[in-house]
A and B are shown apart, each in its own frame.
Chain A
């Protein structure tokens, strides 16, 4: 009964279900690996931006200026062009520029600048009075970063991570265009090139579900980390 409904609604996808599951797994894999790497890098660069800013706790004009400009440049390159631009470097680093493996590096380069900015602005929201009271307690720069900036902006970091994750899902679909695997790839190969509309629809539904899950997780973490 159910098979009949699926066959009717998804005439093409029902024959490709293995390929589709495979592509969902690939998307999740790209998301998880690129996400984790970008989270660490973005957190690091966000903190560097924050503390090196003029009047920051470790103000350093040159580091700030350089990082600020690099991030601006990377953010202004459209992602699809960036993937093409990065192909030689990707090959050099991971040996291939296609498939899931080849997609991770461009994804990291694509999302880290965005996440760094998000983190910077999240941490900048900290009341300067809290930093001052930390200083008055004799905290070092490291302690200020850990006990004040990071600890007190956990809700803002959660929010930034949710937004970035949703963006990352979007980017992971774009890498499909250049043979990066995943749901994007599936939609291009079957939905677009073979004009199988149900393949495109099921891809959209799958992405919607993933994004909704991310939003839900984000919201529940936010609830658990907000005390005021």
Chain B
């Protein structure tokens, strides 16, 4: 960003659908900035407006107001032939793949190249290169019905990349695939992003997808972008309840709350013990924090749940642990952890009340 114009900009985009005479506002004042080379995830529940949002980027949906700019070109002003020419520079893949069932793999990709101006021979070379790229060269004469889900999505990717697009839009591209295939397609998209430098915008309702490959994220709900930014800062410091809800879908730390609710033996405390929830906000997790604290203050950590993931080569997550030791040591530990930029939450306390007050002063 830094003062320069972003590669994709959405400025005050609104979109309403009309049912009879009643307007339903699907997008409300959406502002997004995507830089070149980003893998930008837009996450929201179904009905949040994310499908409409991604279709505004390539002009399949027209805007009610606002502007979409891609690479200094105002997309929302394009019409007719210009718009169709522009769409060829933006690839799109779909949840249901949307391959033409009556055409072979080769025919499907050739369809995307029909106005490319290439000679027959160049087209064939291009198609074979694409099939090589997505690693399904042997399926060139197969019909879509003969392919597995993962293979279909690979063909769809090859088709989307046929005209050397600058942007690839993914509409729930992995939601119809099994976990294994999802992983391989996501990895493949990430490789494409590195190899070709292509900017990827993807919408999804799955937190795992965003964590796996996105470097930026926006959270959308009822047509409003709640927060956006790079994945690590949004997820390590979620401001909106919805962001937290999404984080919890892939985190097992929230299971501890359930354990406490049913008073499981795992969370029964002895006198003087506390249960802590530690959330890492900076990359301190790579320091041997727990063993260091444990050695320095003579306290014991019994980790009952942990959830630490690698996001953008940084560690994100936290753990829940039972802390036991001298009362003074426990208090010192809490202060020390706080200084190390670890968010500490005491979720169950078996200390005497005056010590609790001391802890709250922290």
Q: Write the residues of chain A forming the contact surface with B, with a CB cutoff of 8 angstroms.
A: 127, 129-130, 132-133, 135-140, 143, 147-148, 151-152, 154, 225, 227-228
Comparing B90-98, B197-205, B252-260, the segment that makes contact with chain A is B90-98
Do A136 and B145 touch across chains, with their CB atoms under 8 A apart? no
For B60, give its contact among A132, A154, A227, A228 (CB under 8 Å).
A132
Known A129-B96, A154-B102, A227-B101; judge A136-B87 contact (CB<8 A). Answer: yes
* Count class of interface residues, chain B: 20 to 34
List 10 A-B pairs, minimum CB-CB distance, nearest first. Answer: A133-B98, A138-B87, A228-B145, A138-B84, A136-B92, A129-B98, A138-B88, A228-B101, A227-B143, A137-B112
B102 CB contacts on chain A under 8 angstroms: 151-152, 154, 225, 227-228
Residue of B nearest to A136 (CB): B92
Q: Are B101 and A137 in contact (CB under 8 A)?
A: no
Q: Which residues of chain A are within 8 angstroms of B87 by Cβ–Cβ distance?
A: 135-138
- Residues of B within 8 Å of A132, CB to CB, are 60, 94, 98
Q: Which residues of A contact B144 (CB under 8 A)?
A: 228
Given contacts A228-B143, A228-B144, A228-B145, contact A148 B100 (CB under 8 A): yes
Query: Which of chain B's residues have a CB closer than 8 A to the CB of A136?
Result: 58, 60, 87, 90-92, 169
A151 touches B100 (CB 8 A): yes
Q: Which residues of A contact B99 (CB under 8 A)?
A: 133
B362 beta carbon closer than 8 Å to chain A: no
Please give the distance in Å from A144's CB to the nearest CB on chain B.
Answer: 11
Chain B contacts for A225, CB-based, 8 A: 102
Q: In the complex, what residues of A have CB within 8 A of residue B98's CB?
A: 127, 129-130, 132-133
CB neighbours of A152 from chain B (8 A): 100-102
Total of A-B residue pairs, C-beta within 8 Å? 60
CA–CA, A227 and B143, complex, Å? 7
Q: What residue in chain B is nearest A133 (Cβ atoms)?
A: B98
The answer to the question of B115 belonging to the interface, with a C-beta cut-off of 8 Å to chain A, is yes
Given A129-B94, A227-B102, verify A137-B145 contact (CB < 8 Å).
no
Residues of B within 8 A of A147 (CB): 100, 111, 114
Expressed in whole angstroms, the minimum distance between the Cβ of B236 and any Cβ of chain A is: 35
User: Which residues of B are found within 8 Å of A143, using beta-carbon distances?
Assistant: 114
B154-176: which residues lie under 8 A (CB-CB) from chain A?
Answer: 159, 169
Q: Is the CB of A138 within 8 A of B115?
A: yes
Q: In the complex, which residue of chain B has the Cβ closest to the Cβ of A130? A: B98
* B residues adjacent to A (C-beta < 8 A): 58, 60, 81, 83-88, 90-92, 94, 96, 98-103, 111-112, 114-115, 143-145, 159, 169
Q: Chain B residues near A228 (CB, 8 Å)?
A: 101-102, 143-145
| Distance of A152 Cα from B100 Cα, bound (Å) | 7
A140–B83 Cα distance when bound, in Å, is 10
Most buried by A among B58, B84, B91, B169: B84
Residues in A with CB closer than 8 Å to B103 are 151
A142 to chain B, nearest CB (A): 11
Q: Are A140 and B92 in contact (CB under 8 A)?
A: no
- Once the chains bind, are B58 and A130 in contact (CB under 8 Å)? no
Evaluate contact between A137 and B111: CB separation under 8 angstroms. Answer: yes
Question: Are A139 and B84 within 8 A (Cβ)?
Answer: yes
Q: Chain B residue with minimal CB distance to A131? A: B98
User: Can you name 12 A-B pairs with beta carbons within 8 Å?
Assistant: A127-B96, A129-B98, A130-B100, A133-B94, A136-B92, A138-B83, A138-B85, A148-B100, A154-B102, A227-B145, A228-B102, A228-B145
Residues of B within 8 A of A133 (CB): 92, 94, 98-99
Q: In whole angstroms, what is the CA distance A154 to B102 when docked?
A: 9
| Additional 14 contacts, C-beta under 8 A, given A147-B111, A147-B114, A228-B144 | A132-B60, A136-B58, A136-B90, A136-B91, A137-B87, A137-B111, A138-B87, A138-B115, A139-B84, A143-B114, A147-B100, A151-B100, A227-B102, A228-B143
A8 to chain B, nearest CB (A): 53
Min distance, Cβ B56 to any Cβ of chain A, angstroms: 13
Rounded to whole angstroms, the CA-CA distance of A144 and B115 in the bound complex is: 13
Q: Which residues in A have their C-beta under 8 angstroms from that of B83?
A: 138
Which of B115, B143, B144, B145 counts the most A-chain CB atoms under 10 A from its CB?
A: B115
CA–CA, A135 and B99, complex, Å = 13
A57 to chain B, nearest CB (A): 11
Taking a contact as CB atoms under 8 Å apart, the answer to whether A137 and B88 are in contact is: yes
B58 nearest CB neighbor, chain A only: A136
> In the assembled complex, how far is the CB of residue A166 from the closest CB belonging to chain B, in whole angstroms?
25
- Chain A nearest CB from B294 CB (Å) reads 56
Q: Please, how many angstroms separate the alpha-carbon atoms of A222 and B101 in the complex? A: 15
Query: Shortest Cβ distance from A20 into chain B, in angstroms?
Result: 43
Chain B positions within 8 Å of A154 at CB level: 102
B22–chain A nearest beta-carbon distance, Å: 16
Residues of B within 8 A of A137 (CB): 87-88, 111-112, 159
B94 near A135 with CB under 8 A, answer no
* A139 to B112 CA separation, bound complex (whole angstroms): 9
Closest residue of chain A to B89 (Cβ to Cβ) is A138
Give A217 to B283 CA distance when docked, in angstroms: 71
Find the B residue at minimum CB distance from A137.
B112
Residue of A nearest to B111 (CB): A147
In the complex the two chains form, is A140's CB within 8 Å of B84's CB? yes
A148 to chain B, nearest CB (A): 7
Look across to chain A and name the residue whose beta carbon is closest to the beta carbon of B88.
Answer: A138
How distant is B307 from chain A, measured CB to nearest CB, in Å? Answer: 36
Task: Report Cα–Cα, A4/B182, bound state, in Å.
Answer: 77
